[in-house]
Amino acid sequence: MILQLFLTFAQIGAFTFGGGYAMLPLIQREVIDKYHWLSNAEFLDIIATAEMTPGPISINTATFVGYKMAGFWGSVVATLGIILPSFAAITLLTVVLNKLQDNKDAQNGLKGMRPAVTAMIITAALSLAPQSIVRPADVIIFLAAVILSWQQWLDPILILLLSGVLGIVIGLF
Amino acid sequence: MLWQLFISCFRVGAFTIGGGYAMLPVMKNIFVNEKKWVSDEEFVDMISVIQIVPGAIAINASIYLGHKLSGIPGAIAAALGSALPSFLIILLIASSLAGWYQSPYVMNFFSGIRPAVVGLILVAGIKLGRDILQSKLALILTFIFGVFTLWLKIHPALLIILGALLGIVLGKGGKEI
């Protein structure tokens, strides 16, 4: 069981490009359809929980499934399993990038990536906006966060904590 | 250094709420502004190249920076630090019968955080763009790539590869982005 958990999550980790949500179909196929470790309803619960709690959705799912199937060590093994492919891939990538450090094409390639990644970050914010900014109070929190972080008046972690507290206060009324 | 890396990544992991990009503002603030471990350019190049390897963005970013700063031990410290907060929280949720995480206070806390996350990512993206995109061509490309992602839903890894190819081809023609 422990070995199977490790291998399954290593496989999921190795074949998901583009972050958490890209992993969901693969997790669904392996964990629900193939091994029946989770029901569909449990899977939806995990996604909802993962959205509410810190951390990548892949780590959250691995920890949860690992714990459910084999207790504490199951969760450790599943979590390490999902991290390992990233670890190997990035170590390899770093070696390659170091070799290419003085290569003109590689430098131009990196420069070409910059507009793409800037666009991705900004559009990530825009695509999160409709589901995150719903109530009028959300607009105020959003604007306050923009101003406070633009002016660097507050640390991002403090902005997040204060917004959370504000969320609780708003919920009281 | 390893301990510093571990703690820094732990802070990033603890505040990645709402998907991979949510960690960007927190990570940039710690690694670029506070500790000055990497420059704006290095940070953006890191975000670019990790898109073409599999895995969660926050974990990949931590491993990459850990590796860059202190080799394999750094990568291990960073990976464990960034995964630990979510590991502990899920362990707590999975092992406790009481659904404390479904309490209205916890839910309201997170619904307050979400709009702030959007604002923080937006500001981080605009500031990084302002600091690293020097040519008019780069700005135009950013806009075009933005349209590609938002409306055509092009996969991030493809977009990054497209950008790299464009950079190489334009470079061969004597024009730098």
Within a domain: A109: no
Shared domain for B176 and B157, answered yes or no, is: yes
A 120-149 residues with CB < 8 A to B: 120-129, 131-133, 138-139, 141-146, 149
Within 8 A of B93 by CB-CB distance, chain A residues are 49, 53, 64
Inter-chain residue contact B52 with A17, CB threshold 8 Å: yes
A128-165: per-residue pLDDT in tens? 899 889 999 999 999 999 999 999 999 898 999 999 99
Number of domains in chain B: 2
A25 shares contact with chain B (CB less than 8 Å): no
Residue A21 confidence (pLDDT): 65
Can you give the pLDDT of all 177 residues of chain B as single tens digits? 899 999 999 999 988 876 678 888 999 999 999 999 999 999 999 998 888 888 888 899 999 999 999 999 999 999 999 999 989 988 888 887 556 667 888 888 888 998 999 999 999 999 989 988 989 999 999 999 999 888 888 888 888 899 999 999 999 988 878
Q: Dihedrals φ, ψ of A108, to 5°?
A: -65, -35
Instruction: Look at residue B98 in the predicted model and tell me its pLDDT.
Output: 53
Domain of residue B144, residue span: 133-177
Look up the domain containing A53 and give its range.
Answer: 2-99
Q: B158 with B88, same domain?
A: no
Residue B167 burial (CB count, 10 A): 27
What does the DSSP 8-state code read for residue A15?
Answer: T
The values of phi and psi at residue B94, to 5°, are -65, -30
**Helix, strand, coil fractions of chain A, as percent rounded to 5:** 85, 0, 15
Say if residue A77 is in the same domain as residue A132: no
Please report whether residue A110 resides in a domain.
Answer: no
Listed in order, strand segments (DSSP E) in chain A are none
Same domain? B100 vs B78:
yes
> Do A11 and A92 share a domain, yes or no?
yes
Tell me if A146 and B52 make a contact (CB, 8 A cut-off). no
**pLDDT band at residue A19 under the 50/70/90 scheme:** low
* Co-location of B78 and B137 in the same domain: no
Residues B143 and B160 in one domain: yes
- Cβ–Cβ below 8 Å for A19 and B127: no
- Is the distance from CB of A103 to CB of B171 less than 8 angstroms? no
Burial of B3 (0-12, 13-18, 19+ CB in 10 A): exposed
A94 with A130, same domain: the answer is no
- B44 is written with which tokens? 């953006």
Q: Which of B112, B116, B145 sits opposite A116 (nearest CB)?
A: B145
For residues B9 and B40, membership in a common domain is answered with yes
Q: Based on the fold, state whether residues A145 and A79 are members of the same structural domain.
A: no
Regarding whether B22 and B107 lie in a shared domain, the answer is: yes
Does A161 fall in a domain?
A: yes
- Asked if residue A120 belongs to a domain, the reply is no
Looking at the fold, whether A90 and A132 belong to one and the same domain comes out as: no
Handedness of CA A14, B60, A57, A112 (dihedral sign): negative
| A105 in any annotated domain | no
Among residues B89, B111, B128, the one where a domain terminates is B128
In this structure, are B164 and B120 located in the same domain? no
> For helices B40-50 and A104-132, what crossing angle results, to 10°?
80
Are residues A45 and A90 located together in one domain of the fold?
yes
Closest residue of B to A79, CA-based?
B87
Cα separation, B82 vs B78, in Å, equals 6
Q: Which of B87, B106, B128 is the last residue of a domain?
A: B128
CA distance A92 to A22: 22
Residues 6+ apart with CB under 8 A from B132: A114, A118, B40, B41, B44
Nearest CA in chain A to B160: A113
pLDDT value of residue A58: 84
- Tell me how many domains chain A contains: 2
Residues B110 and B163 in one domain: no
Task: Name every chain A residue with its beta carbon within 8 A of the beta carbon of B35.
Answer: none
Asked whether the beta carbons of residue B75 and residue A90 sit closer than 8 angstroms, the reply is: yes
- C-alpha span between B44 and B174 (Å, rounded): 23
Same domain membership, residue A131 and residue A95: no
- The answer for B135, left when phi > 0, alpha when psi is -120 to 50, beta otherwise, is beta
Question: Degrees (nearest 5) of the Cα angle A4, A10, A15?
Answer: 130
Q: How far apart are CA B21 and CA B126, in angstroms?
A: 14
Residue B138, CA atoms < 13 Å, CB-side half-sphere: 22
Domain assignment of residue A113, yes or no: no
In this predicted structure, what is the pLDDT of residue A116?
A: 92
pLDDT of residue A18: 62
Are residues B157 and B113 part of one domain?
no
Give, rounded to a whole angstrom, the gap between the first and last alpha carbons of chain A: 49
Identity (one letter) of the amino acid at B166? L
How large is the average pLDDT for residues A14-28? 75
Instruction: Examine the domain organization and report whether A93 and A134 are in the same domain.
Output: no
| pLDDT at residue A20, as a whole number | 61
- Tell me the mean pLDDT in the region A70-94: 93
Pair A144, A84 in one domain: no
Look at residues A146, A150, A123 and name the one whose alpha carbon lies nearest to residue B127.
A150
Q: Is residue A63 part of a domain?
A: yes
The tokens describing A64, both together, are: 């949860």
Whether residue B141 contacts residue B177, with contact meaning beta carbons closer than 8 Å, is answered with yes
Q: Give the rounded percent of residues in chain A with a pLDDT score beyond 70.
A: 97
Do B113 and B158 belong to one domain? Answer: no
For residues A22 and A64, membership in a common domain is answered with: yes
pLDDT digits (tens, 9 = 90+) for A96-114: 988 988 899 999 999 999 9
Q: Tell me: do B46 and B111 sit in the same domain.
A: yes
Is residue A140, in this structure, part of any structural domain at all?
yes
* CB within 8 Å: B125 and A125: yes
User: Looking at CA atoms only, how far is residue B62 from chain A in angstroms?
Assistant: 10
Assembly ipTM: 0.85
